[in-house]
Amino acid sequence: MNTNDYTDDKIITLDWNEHIRRRAGMYIGRLGNGESPDDGIYVLLKEIIDNAIDEFISGHGKTIVLEVDGKSASVRDFGHGIPLNSLVKVVTTLNTGAKFDSDVYAKSVGLNGVGSKAVNALSSEFYIESFRDGQSRYAVFSGGKLLDTATRPTNEKNGTFVRFVPDIDIFGEYNFNQEFVETMARNYSYLNKNLTIKLNGKDFISRNGLLDLVNDSMVKEKKEPLYKPIHLVGDDIEIVMTHDNSYGENIASFVNGQNTRDGGTHLAAFREAITKTIKEFYKKDFDPSDIRQGIVGAISIRIHEPNFESQTKIKLGSTEMYKDGPTVRNYVNNFIKTNLDNYLHINRETADILLKKIQSSEKERKEMSGVQKKAKERAKKAAVHNKKLYDCRYHYGDKNELGEQSSIFITEGDSASGTITTIRDANTQAVFSLRGKPLNCYKASKKVIYENEEFNLLVSALGIEEDSDNLRYNNVIIATDADDDGMHIRMLVTTFFLKFFPDVIRRGHVYILQTPLFRVRNKKETCYCYSIEEKDTAAKKMKAGVEITRFKGLGEISDHEFRHFIGKDIRLDKVMITDEDSIQEILEFYMGDNTMERQEFIKGNLRSEVELEDIM
């Protein structure tokens, strides 16, 4: 547009709801169809539940009723109820709400006055009703546009009821996953002791807060804590910690009731404080990794006006606990230093078990240090002539837009890696080539990472030798052939992450690349199909002169064609583990001794399970 074309009539002012609908990602992070717990429909549900939780925290209402089916959700709280004359304004006018008044909602999850407005704007049906002292007011919307509102008498208890249906024009064909919703309800109960959440008639209630969360997770994982979990509660902080014999760390973190899966300043302070306090208690300069090896725990804090790093609120960026108050780091450090130190002095048996655990981790680390040192030297030498890793220019740790887009494709074989390497975006896409099937590390110790060349080089490429926080790529994409061998390699690589680096999966970084199984074309058009059904539909549509090609491996797809499949239209399936999943059970099924069950699973889940003669 040149200057002469840039006139007053080019300036457009969008209505509040239209701006949200056009820029949904600004408000809820991502869209999705409900197959991932990070998808937008769960963010919408969370925004409404958070409002109900804030009522409970402020001392109003001990029960929240949720009804969620495949397409709609409703939330009923028994709090104040929204002032009737402000009902429509609260759900339609941006930057409007009681949460700006810190005296009413001192430690709320959301303070930006956007949440319920985003739900309203992004729903094809949105119904809200407020009950206050024998009167109610309801309002009905579609896409944020008011259709009807009225006031009427009521016998209902005070509170607010919201029902919404996410708009398929925004989210496509979606479904609420009941398992994800149950996890959400259970977490809310852990974080709000004695609150009853009724989800589709099922009650969720916790009497012991985060202690219940840690104990329940240990039971699910079929693991025994080495000592009774330490449970410490303060005015605005609650922590639980114990150890087991697993690798790595498993620490859940929450801020004002929000599950911060990517951690943030509070989790960093928790880890630092645990390390510092234990070193001072035993008067030994233990390596931090030995103290935190196998730690299982949780931390929840409540702060004024939390600052999250995105609208989805999964990483805390705040450095201050309160206005003109202590930093998050100092607050957490001081609380843990005082209370954990006291606990260990009083509970000497726990202190003795913890010491033995740390010493055991230290011994194992030192025994492996020689192996690790040699492995690092091998990796360093191999990196000079490394044909396994074709790196990109920008990485996740760069903390910029291109770094956020960074991906690494883990492939098998020279042809597949060669194809991707040739046509990738070298700014943001890296390729790591496996040689055949990697080792099944289900029953292996962490020593295998340093002794096995494939894993050693992969860990080095990912940058997670010391800590998963140093991951160099936002997206770790397993790209294998769509056959039984490819499925097996996919499972072996996934097992490697589940066993040694589960946080990489927990934080949503691991994906499976979908590639087309068929090319259907005639002289006029070409269609790439990812299933037999898509292939049949395309063939019928093209009618005459149809040529169908079956892609048996990634290496069979030409460079020119493959460019489409790892570009802006890339299809990825996220590898997910939820709070309800037991990693041990998953590993036992996929990599244990149940060979026939596993073979049947592979065959039953292959998209390519079709004979060549059936295609033509």
Question: Looking at 105-114, 115-124, 410-419, which range is the least confident one?
Answer: 105-114
What fold, for 17-204?
Answer: Heat Shock Protein 90 (3.30.565)
| Secondary element (H or E) of residue 412 | strand 407-412
Residue 563 pLDDT more than 90? no
Per CATH, the number for 386-515+551-615 is 3.40.50.670
261-278 pLDDT tens trace: 777 888 889 999 999 999
CA angle 273/276/268 to nearest 5° reads 35
Query: Which pLDDT band holds residue 96 (cuts at 50, 70, 90)?
Result: low
5-59 pLDDT tens trace: 656 565 556 677 888 888 777 777 778 888 888 788 998 998 899 889 988 888 8
Query: Which pLDDT band holds residue 370 (cuts at 50, 70, 90)?
Result: low
* Crossing angle between the packed helical segments 595-605 and 484-500, to the nearest 10 degrees: 120
The reply to whether 17-204 and 386-515+551-615 are identical in fold is no
Domain boundaries, given as residue ranges, for the chain: 17-204, 210-364, 386-515+551-615
The DSSP code for 320 is B
Q: Which residue has the higher pLDDT, 614 or 143?
A: 143
Q: Which residue has the higher pLDDT, 350 or 323?
A: 350
d(CA 151, CA 482) in angstroms, rounded, equals 59
Domain 210-364 bears CATH identifier 3.30.230.10: yes
pLDDT at position 615, please? 29
110-145 pLDDT tens trace: 444 468 888 999 999 999 999 999 999 999 999 999
- Whether the model clears a pTM of 0.75, i.e. scores above it, the answer is no
CA-based end-to-end distance of the chain: 51
Among 440, 576, 446, 571, residue whose Cα is nearest residue 505:
576
Per-residue 3-state assignment (H helix, E strand, C coil) for 260-298:
CCCCEHHHHHHHHHHHHHHHHHHCCCCCHHHHHCCEEEE
485-519 pLDDT tens trace: 778 888 889 888 888 888 888 888 999 988 888 88
